[in-house]
Amino acid sequence: MTGASVNPAEIYSRQHTFFRTGRTWPVAFRREHLVRLGRALIAHEPELLAALHHDLGKSEIEAFASELGLVAREVSLAIKRLPAWIKPIRKPTPWLNWPAKSFQLPEPRGVVLIMGPWNYPVQLLLLPLVGALAAGCCAVVKPSEFTPAASEVLQRLIRDIYPPEYCQVVTGTGQEAAALLDLPWDHIFFTGSTRVGRLVMQAAAKHLTSITLELGGKNPCIVLADTPLEIAAERIAWGKFLNAGQTCGAPDHCYIQRQVLGPFTEALKRVLTRFYGADPRQSPDFGRIVNIAHFDRLLGYLSQGRVLAGGQVDRGSRYVAPTLMADVPENAPLMQEEIFGPILPLLPFDDLDALLGILRDRPNPLAAYVFTRDAASQIKALQHLRAGTMALNDTMSQITSSHLPLGGVGESGQGRYHGQASFACFSHYKSVLAKGYIWNNRMKYPPYTVPLKWLKKFYAWLM
């Protein structure tokens, strides 16, 4: 079913009607449909792997590790933990409300829209869907038009296991996305650029729709002189050049303490050769840029500094080599825009306090990374670097955990998901006070006869 052949308003209306029947609320229903998704991932695995290679040049190992495997793990966790997640959360009850009990009841938000990006077209569409289905919602999912092969497989996968009134994929371009955003969803989950995130927020504001925005930013990586350089180089290169650098949480640029800038640069060069060989174009483990527009954008960055390693490109195959750059001016577009590609500027710094002061004045990134053995420096960075997530002495690993909620802050997004946080994202925690009839406190009803000074003393005693 193509984007042109569907009517978003009809889809929304059909799902809204189905949700109001209450069929999605029972735990058994939710678990059954999560099991279906897990089985479908296995059944469609060859097609999904082939689609990811077609769209992004991903190897089977990278595609499974960074996409299918993460979704399968999330499905398994939700099936296992759902009975605990759905339980009411007991809360204290003030004495003034006795006899009563207080709790929060997680209930599904309703009919939700999930809009996925192109860089991880399977993982970043299905991970939030797992949370939506676990929470008891109905969902419409909109994959990116920039990864058509993955979108086509995902559409067939969802169509094979779910009725459209429960869950449906809508494909198409910006026109279809705009039509979807014009509807009064109960929640919108968007993963993508900050620019488009602002448009999503504006559309949601018309209906006062709650939103989750998973955006990006210029994620800094700081390497202090006491760091084991070879290990740091491996961990930074892996996080940066995974998926050809097209990862929202990847290190965007790297600050290296000046006295180790040379040795660290050489360590990075050795690691790149070890990872991808002398000619990364021939490596089965290095991906491709998603389309020509992004290729041309990255090509423009290569003239904004001195290339230390890499720099080779091939327009026909959308190949940009893993590239290290130096002498990049702070006002260059390469240092002002999210790179989202396999180009890593290396920048020297002298004083950590001064660097943290500079970074505090910039927009908040999705991730920040600090490499040092010094506990005091780690604490200082944790206190002064404002970012959605952080990792010490590693990159990207905090994003792959189902037990660490992922989300941005400020311009890098709002809201959290992964694991139980995904369930919470698509749930409304209704506050409930249930009162008994053992005693009826008539002192709270008019006419009021208790002197104010005694009432104040009573409240002071309660506190």
Which residues belong to the active site? 214, 248
Q: Which residues contact 379 (CB under 8 A, 6 or more apart)?
A: none
CA distance 46 to 368: 35
Q: Tell me the residue type at 413.
A: G
Length of the chain: 463
3-state class of 112 per DSSP?
strand
CA distance 462 to 106: 30
- Parallel, antiparallel, or unpaired: how do β-strands 100-108 and 427-435 relate? antiparallel
Query: Dihedral, CA atoms, 397, 42, 120, 160, nearest 10 degrees?
Result: -140
- Is-contact 56 246, C-beta < 8 A? yes
- Parallel, antiparallel, or unpaired: how do β-strands 253-257 and 306-309 relate? unpaired
CA distance 224 to 101: 53
- Is-contact 194 412, C-beta < 8 A? yes
- Is-contact 82 131, C-beta < 8 A? no
Give Rg (Cα) of the chain.
25
- Is-contact 407 214, C-beta < 8 A? yes
Report how far apart, in Å, the C-alpha atoms of 232 and of each of 22, 236, 390, 401 are: 52, 6, 15, 20
CA distance 343 to 426: 36
CA distance 444 to 441: 6
Please confirm whether the linkage preceding 345 is cis (ω < 30° from 0). no
With both helix axes pointing from N to C terminus, report the angle between 194-205 and 174-181 in degrees, rounded to the nearest 10: 30
